[in-house]
Amino acid sequence: MPAGFGSRLAADSSPNTGRVSENMTDNLSHPNSPEARDSASLIHPLTNLKTHLEKGGLVIEEGDGVWVTDIHGKKYIEGMSGLWCLSLGYGQERLVEAAAKQMRRLPYYHLTNHKSHQPAIDLAEKLLEIAPVPMSKVWFANSGSEGNDSAARIVWYYWHAKGQPEKRKIIAHQRAYHGNTIASASMSGMYYNHASFGLPLDGFLHVTPPHHYRYANPGEDEEAFASRLADELDALIIAEGPETVGAFFAEPIMGSGGVIVPPPTYFKKIQAVLDKHDILLIADEVITAFGRTGNMFGTTTMDLTPDMLVCAKGLSSAYLPISALMVNARVFEVISEESDRVGVFGLSFTYSGHPVSAAVAREALRIYEDENIVEHVRAMEPHFLGGLKKLLDHPLVGEVRGKGLLAGVELVHDKSTGEAFDPAYQVGPYCADRAEAHGVILRAIGDTISFCPPLVIDKQEIEELILRFRHALDDTLAMVQEQGWLSAR
CB of 489 to ligand PLP, least distance (A): 35
CB of 250 to ligand PLP, least distance (A): 10
Q: How many CB atoms lie within 10 A of CB 40?
A: 11
Asked if 283 and 212 touch (Cβ cutoff 8 Å), the reply is: no
Among 56, 210, 255, 263, binds ligand PLP (CB under 6 A): 255
Cα 23 to Cα 146, 292, 471, distances in angstroms: 37, 34, 19
Q: SS3 sequence, 312-358?
A: CHHHCCCCCCCEEEEECHHHHHHHHHHHHHHCCCCCCCCCCCCHHHH
For position 179 contacting ligand PLP by CB under 6 A, the verdict is: yes
For position 251 contacting ligand PLP by CB under 6 A, the verdict is: yes
Residue with smaller CB distance to ligand PLP, 354 or 470 = 354
Provide the residue type at 280 as one letter.
L
Stretch (H or E) spanning 408: strand 406-411
- Up-side HSE of residue 230: CA atoms within 13 Å toward CB? 21
Residue with smaller CB distance to ligand PLP, 251 or 447 = 251
Stretch that binds ligand PLP, among 251-259, 264-272, 296-304, 415-423 (CB under 6 A): 251-259
Calculate Rg over the CA atoms of the chain: 22
For position 257 contacting ligand PLP by CB under 6 A, the verdict is: no
Site for ligand PLP in 394-423 (CB under 6 A): none
Residue with smaller CB distance to ligand PLP, 144 or 418 = 144
Nearest Cα neighbor of 401 from 425, 421, 418 is: 418
- 423-442 footprint of ligand PLP as x/- string (CB under 6 A): --------------------
| Apex 310 CA angle, 315 and 211, nearest 5 | 105
Residues in contact with ligand PLP, counted by CB under 6 A, come to a total of: 16
For position 79 contacting ligand PLP by CB under 6 A, the verdict is: no
Provide the residue type at 196 as one letter.
S
Give SS3 for 363: helix
- Residues linked to residue 283 through DSSP beta bridges, in sequence order: 250, 309
For position 256 contacting ligand PLP by CB under 6 A, the verdict is: yes
Residue with smaller CB distance to ligand PLP, 55 or 443 = 443
CB of 146 to ligand PLP, least distance (A): 7
For position 81 contacting ligand PLP by CB under 6 A, the verdict is: no
Residue with smaller CB distance to ligand PLP, 127 or 312 = 312
Asked if 382 and 390 touch (Cβ cutoff 8 Å), the reply is: no
Site for ligand PLP in 369-398 (CB under 6 A): none
- The strand order across the sheet containing 67-70 reads 60-64, 67-70, 75-78, 440-441
Nearest Cα neighbor of 412 from 438, 435, 394 is: 394
Residue with smaller CB distance to ligand PLP, 87 or 143 = 143
Among 76, 90, 157, 177, binds ligand PLP (CB under 6 A): 177
Q: How many CB atoms lie within 10 A of CB 242?
A: 15
CB of 143 to ligand PLP, least distance (A): 3
Among 80, 207, 312, 380, binds ligand PLP (CB under 6 A): 312
Asked if 309 and 283 touch (Cβ cutoff 8 Å), the reply is: yes
CB of 286 to ligand PLP, least distance (A): 3
Among 168, 178, 269, 394, binds ligand PLP (CB under 6 A): 178
- 211-250 footprint of ligand PLP as x/- string (CB under 6 A): ----------------------------------------
- Up-side HSE of residue 346: CA atoms within 13 Å toward CB? 8
Site for ligand PLP in 277-296 (CB under 6 A): 284, 286-287
Site for ligand PLP in 130-149 (CB under 6 A): 143-145, 148
Closest residue to ligand PLP, based on beta-carbon distance: 144
Residue with smaller CB distance to ligand PLP, 179 or 404 = 179
Residue with smaller CB distance to ligand PLP, 259 or 334 = 259
Give SS3 for 167: coil
Distance CA 274, CA 248 (A): 8
Residue with smaller CB distance to ligand PLP, 143 or 328 = 143
Torsion angle, CA of 228/230/235/238, rounded to 10 degrees?
Answer: -170
Give SS3 for 289: coil
CB of 429 to ligand PLP, least distance (A): 18
Q: Which residues bind ligand PLP (CB under 6 A)?
A: 83-84, 143-145, 148, 177-179, 251, 255-256, 284, 286-287, 312
